[in-house]
Structure 1
Amino acid sequence: MADQKLLIDDPPAYDDASAPLVTPAEKDVSRQPAPRTPGGPRPPFHLDLPALNEIRGKRVILASASPRRRQLLSQIGLNDIEIIPSTLPENQDKSLAPFEYVLLTAEAKARNIYTSEIDSPKGEPRLVIAADTVISTHVGQILEKPRNEREHMAMLKQLRDGNNGWHKVYTAVVCMAPLESAVDPGYALEMHVEETAVKFDGAVTDELLLSYVKTREGADKAGGYGIQGLGSILVEKIDGTFDNVVGLPLRSTLQLIEKVIVDPDVPAEVEEAI
């Protein structure tokens, strides 16, 4: 089949400060960008995708208290989302493989919030997003958040010294959305586990590690460090997606949203025949 060109309206010039904020294709107020800061650059328009357009203005719940996940979702235009963290204990068996551990934890969070909010006075959620992130050492030991400074320091030294500094970050994402049909079980559920390898710089000293621990930046993060912040000084390189280490692989999350929102009732074999 010959390639087909996408037809788009001519956008305003990037360097034209007087260009209108809304192009002819952006007349839908739900897809307009945020107000421009006086004297600042024009913020980007939202992604014009069917799945995102469908859920804008509707109940979208993030089953996580992580400000980093909320910030990442805002990058694809999901700014007005409810934050309802799951209160379930994260007590999966640590003998599980890391990808199994995070997947079971994220799925439990999603089901917990979806079930508790389905009969809410606010109305049924249009989408529930849950995620869980863990760090795995080179021998498969699962590291979550440090409980105190002593454990925090030991955790960072273990990541620096084991396997030449290499370890893995696993994030599981689960999306749930109600089905319009009566097809059992009444909801669509999609999940994904992303893996990123991270290498600590072997030249990082104990003094630097202790100084980082004292900042408390990594106190609420799996593995005890935040790569998007000051913790980046500990990292030499990564193999995989950066936002997965932050706590939410955005590309994969968008794909899950599209799966549960756009025609989730159509069986896979029917979709292949279309």
Structure 2
Amino acid sequence: MSKIALASASPRRRELLSQLGVEFELVRGDIDETQLPGEAATDYVLRLARQKAAAGLAAQQSASKLPVLGADTIVVVDGEVLGKPLDQTDFLRMMRLLSNRQHQVYTAIALATTEQIWSDTVKTEVWFCELSEQQMLDYWHSGEPADKAGGYGIQGLAGRFIPKIAGSYFAVVGLPLYETAQLLTKLQDN
């Protein structure tokens, strides 16, 4: 496998990509992440991943550009996309929506070269236990939720609130390993 570029600032994505044994460097994949009016959650997350990969490709200065992997993860409950909490009030609103019920996490990945782009979206169902106000506040004060989609990280302290999932644990963390490996295989085959 030749080297690729990763258009992500997420330390979790860097760790997960390393688990695949892929050599990579980081590139900037800055884009406007605003959801478009009427845009379905699955279309939104896929658009973001594809745009990040394309932006990472454009950001490379050398003539021989590395293929770029872009990814994005969203949390969806009742059709509403829950982004990163704006503040404690927003976080508590999200936790009340997630408490004692099931929601969906979608992670989209895109691998772009100068010739083409491959992409995939992975859906995982996640169940939360019933949370008390004190549990929510304690979790907020840990500092962990501030930069997480949906206000939680399954791989961290919030793992104790999640009795089960159906789908890819790694997708909820931020990079579905199986599907990413499949995209990398397509790159090798071309």
The TM-score by the shorter chain falls in which range?
over 0.9
Q: Which amino acid aligns with 1:90?
A: E
CA distance in 2, matches of 1:91, 1:85: 18
Deviates more, 1:253-262 or 1:193-202: 253-262
Cα deviation for residue 150 of structure 1 reads 1.3
Aligned to 1:30: none
Q: Which amino acid aligns with 2:75?
A: I
CA distance in 1, matches of 2:133, 2:37: 28
Q: Which amino acid aligns with 1:241?
A: S
Matched, 1:219 2:143: no
Cα deviation for residue 94 of structure 1 reads 5.2
CA distance in 1, matches of 2:28, 2:101: 32
Higher relative contact order (CA 8 A, sep 6+): 2
Name stretches of at least 5 consecutive residues in structure 1 with no aligned partner.
1-51, 179-186, 264-274
TM-score (norm 1): 0.66
Aligned to 1:142: 81
Matched, 1:103 2:46: yes
Match of 2:186 among 259, 262, 270: 259
Cα deviation for residue 124 of structure 1 reads 2.4
Matched, 1:92 2:32: no
Q: Which amino acid aligns with 1:256?
A: L
CA distance in 2, matches of 1:143, 1:199: 15
Runs of 4+ with >3 A deviation? none
Matched, 1:65 2:9: yes
CA distance in 1, matches of 2:37, 2:64: 34
Over residues 167-212 of structure 1, what are the superposed CA-to-partner deviations in whole Å (9 max), with x where a residue is unaligned?
Answer: 000000000124xxxxxxxx1210000000000012x211011100
* Cα contact 2:125–2:167 (8 A) shared by 1: yes
* Cα contact 1:94–1:101 (8 A) shared by 2: no
Aligned to 1:170: 106
Aligned to 1:196: 124
Matched, 1:230 2:173: no
Percent identity (aligned)? 38
Aligned to 2:93: 154
CA distance in 1, matches of 2:184, 2:35: 26
Aligned residues: 190
Name stretches of at least 5 consecutive residues in structure 2 with no aligned partner.
none
Considering fraction of residues, name the structure with more strand. 2
Aligned to 1:125: 65
Residues 13-28 of structure 1 correspond to what in structure 2 (within 5 A)?
Answer: none
